[in-house]
Structure 1
């Protein structure tokens, strides 16, 4: 299994996936020839704290974990299907529109995550479900959001362990 900088041992399964997304995207954005080069990639940013004008100059990517639905996989395991939002802010953002820079970031994001939909052996599936521009005025006007559903499997009563394609990850 690939090595990732963030130790996820003992964290809840959803948090493991969120931090793995941050690790994968941060590594991909480090490549100088990448459309994602220089992006500020983060999670846990307070909702009331929009990206600053300085941050949107290079571009900001905020990853958020949303609703998770559970489906029985077998007698002792659950499939978690979670919606993740990727908020993308650029200096050129406009209401009800996706600009060229944002479109390039979305294409980069999809390419990076589809290169390994298991996120290094953690997840069962990853599928992008849409992209939507901001429709409301506010401090973060012009933000766009890409949505993806990510699935992983846990034991019924143990949401700390993921049963990944390469085996259990605690």
Structure 2
């Protein structure tokens, strides 16, 4: 009877443990499932982290390769700025010198008009000194033209 009682107690303990195991088993399965999910997420995140690390390394290498080019670009840009300043100053100096010389500038139309007036004046002066019925030697013609050109030149220069 003691053996039977002992067996009954053991049987009760076994049933109690089985019941406890059955109650804890879904919780354990749920925990295992969560653990698996978390492990998968961890592996994904680690993969992303490693990929980002590789990309960062690549970018750093590219940056190191680009540094000499950037330095050369900066140097050229600085030289270009200095040259521009120098040329701007030269242009300003030349403009100032042009203003200081106070030479009247004429437009193309004004110049053409002045040339026409001068040539017309020369023509009328030569015409007034030549008679159509008379014949002249080349020497006389050259002397006449030279005299008229000199007179017209001095007249124009004295106006300015």
TM-score range, shorter chain: under 0.3
Could you say which structure has the greater relative contact order, defined with CA pairs below 8 angstroms and 6 or more residues apart? Answer: 1
The structure richer in helix per residue is 2
User: Whose strand fraction is larger, Structure 1's or Structure 2's?
Assistant: 1
Give the structure with higher Rg (CA): 2
**TM-score for both structures, normalised by structure 2:** 0.18
